[in-house]
Structure 1
């Protein structure tokens, strides 16, 4: 319930529920502009990337708004002024499918174009920094291929809500936001915005249940694969360089401390589905300048590392928001004996090439 309380006469007034149509509030001209200006209406902090996007391949369809959330996910926003009709969720799924191929560079370009259409100055490097700074997920590297969906409407037909509940069971992240207008007087509307799916009071619980249900099956197999794979690598590494190594966890990467704060070695699978494997040295201090200084010192060993490994060494000066890394990569996601040998042998080379210099960095206090 929405009500107002008068501080002078201490009376409560209940505003009358109305419709947007009755007050000539339009979907594109008004509601879209509200969300574009105040995306918090949708119940979370979002960065609007563009509006009325129609640059899809082989179709002229146009989505209302495209946004970025703080985990680095694309968010397709579909608006309906009145009720959703029977197929709003299907329409949004189509747009999400169209957007699923967008990478970070393309997202940067479309946001630059959006800002320039609004008459704003938009240099590409500045826009890139703006997007990366907005993302709070410290493991973010690239836009994934599973955009989220937010539906906004005054009324939801049961066909739509039933479909949304069913789709969420299969890992499709759809949020339904309801907006309800109330008339205060002749000059102002009060608009209530509320998330109805997932149910707010149970949101975190429901999301965890959905993730658990989704993980039971194929994902649990992947987790077991990672555990067994990294346990085998650690065993082989321990045979050649005895030490106490961390117990592997069911995830796609494994880290080994270098002894220098926030600098570590890492094995990691990349891609969805996985299609590459890397041996890496990470610089993950909260101080970007310190990461750069340490990288410069160790990047001087690039030629030596390439000679020892026979691989092209990749120097990534800006990774995530502040980090940096040095890596070599093998283009395969198959957990073969060949990959296991490659992973262990090259991790040992990383130790032998980098660790003496890392120890000197420790002594110098850098």
Structure 2
């Protein structure tokens, strides 16, 4: 830091002694300063404990415990001239201890802190409600799962501390390293508090990146979960199909996909079973490479709609899909497919209705394909 000498048009370096040279201590000075003026850390914080030792089966004490404006617990660890080697591990332990704190425990701890601080006339619950800008404690959510934050305060940070802090940040742990520097000019002393990790400019970007990474991780996790469920279902369903009178799927293996298909005797047209979370279906799919061919086959079948539905025994859903290549005829069942207790019922339903679908459409599909070929071979009338 430099002082500007306007008269000489020069800057003069301001002395920056160590805290220890000034006789300041971590407990009686830095901790007290931050407890009384938490805004020095760059945001609105409500200090709810100091030298907190309310952990089961341990005598460890965290320096300061605070709430941020979102109701998250902030674990603040203070060091003076050196961050120390173990500060990150220490704070992580405290965060794990605090992760189980309920709203009631937090309010109780804050009330104890108020009493020890000579403010027993204040109501902890009312202070929290006012700080978070709610109208009632019932509306307040405190210490949601995995939202605990870490804040390290020191004059200097060792390389092992900054390296670990950056790695934790990259893995979604919310933390900040705040560098505190004392300055002396004449008889006046000053304190500068600066966030060095993450830099303020990078913090918003890192939050966005971490949020995106978390979303992608959750999506991948859900995909893998769906794959496992589908594979388990098809293992049971295919085994039951092999033992049934429905011989369509004799050469089909279990799949992680949402469907399994069997040939119909017409190229590009299949009998397909669909397994979904809220709906499962039996389908006839016209998926030849040529859109026009699919529509001609579909139209030939649709011309017999009443006859085919009467033979099947139930109304069917017909999707010509004019602007898409594939056309479908399907019969659905609304059922929670991911509830394994429903699987025996669903498998029986699939076998029964796929057998009906095959008997209903096997021959008409062959005839529709032949009609499609003849239509395409007819000469075009140019008159």
Report the 3-state secondary structure (helix = DSSP H, G, I; strand = E; otherwise coil) of the residue aligned with 2:182.
Answer: strand
Counterparts of 1:223 and 1:17, CA distance in 2: 56
Counterparts of 2:189 and 2:144, CA distance in 1: 39
Corresponding residue number in structure 2 for 1:291: none
Counterparts of 2:134 and 2:168, CA distance in 1: 25
Alignment of 1:92-131 (within 5 A): 92-122=91-121, 126-131=123-128
Instruction: State how many pairs are aligned.
Output: 232
> After the TM superposition, which parts of structure 1 deviate over 4 Å for at least 4 consecutive aligned residues?
6-11, 136-140, 219-225, 335-338
Counterparts of 2:277 and 2:212, CA distance in 1: 27
Task: Say if 1:177 and 1:195, in contact at 8 Å, map to a contact too.
Answer: yes
Shift of 1:74: 0.2
Corresponding residue number in structure 2 for 1:181: 182
Counterparts of 1:94 and 1:150, CA distance in 2: 13
Gaps of 5+ in 2: 226-275, 280-337, 342-383
Deviations 1:288-312 (A, max 9, x none): xxxxxxxxxxxxxxxxxxxxxxxxx
Corresponding residue number in structure 2 for 1:134: 131
Per the normalisation by structure 2, the TM-score is 0.55
Counterparts of 1:54 and 1:121, CA distance in 2: 20
Task: Tell me the C-alpha RMSD between the 2 structures.
Answer: 3.2
Matched, 1:198 2:190: no
Report the 3-state secondary structure (helix = DSSP H, G, I; strand = E; otherwise coil) of the residue aligned with 1:16.
Answer: coil
Task: Say if 1:169 and 1:213, in contact at 8 Å, map to a contact too.
Answer: no
Corresponding residue number in structure 2 for 1:156: 157
Report the 3-state secondary structure (helix = DSSP H, G, I; strand = E; otherwise coil) of the residue aligned with 2:55.
Answer: coil
Moved more, 127-136 or 155-164: 127-136
Per the normalisation by structure 1, the TM-score is 0.57
Counterparts of 2:38 and 2:106, CA distance in 1: 18
Corresponding residue number in structure 2 for 1:67: 66
Shift of 1:135: 2.1
Corresponding residue number in structure 2 for 1:91: 90
Deviations 1:302-342 (A, max 9, x none): xxxxxxxxxxxxxxxxxxxxxxxxxxxxxxxxx7599xxxx
Gaps of 5+ in 1: 226-230, 236-334, 339-366
Shift of 1:140: 5.1
Task: Say if 1:71 and 1:136, in contact at 8 Å, map to a contact too.
Answer: no
Report the 3-state secondary structure (helix = DSSP H, G, I; strand = E; otherwise coil) of the residue aligned with 2:151.
Answer: strand
Corresponding residue number in structure 2 for 1:241: none
Task: Say if 1:170 and 1:214, in contact at 8 Å, map to a contact too.
Answer: no
Counterparts of 1:211 and 1:196, CA distance in 2: 21
Alignment of 1:1-366 (within 5 A): 2-5=1-4, 12-122=11-121, 126-135=123-132, 141-146=141-146, 147-185=148-186, 187-218=187-218, 221=221, 336=339
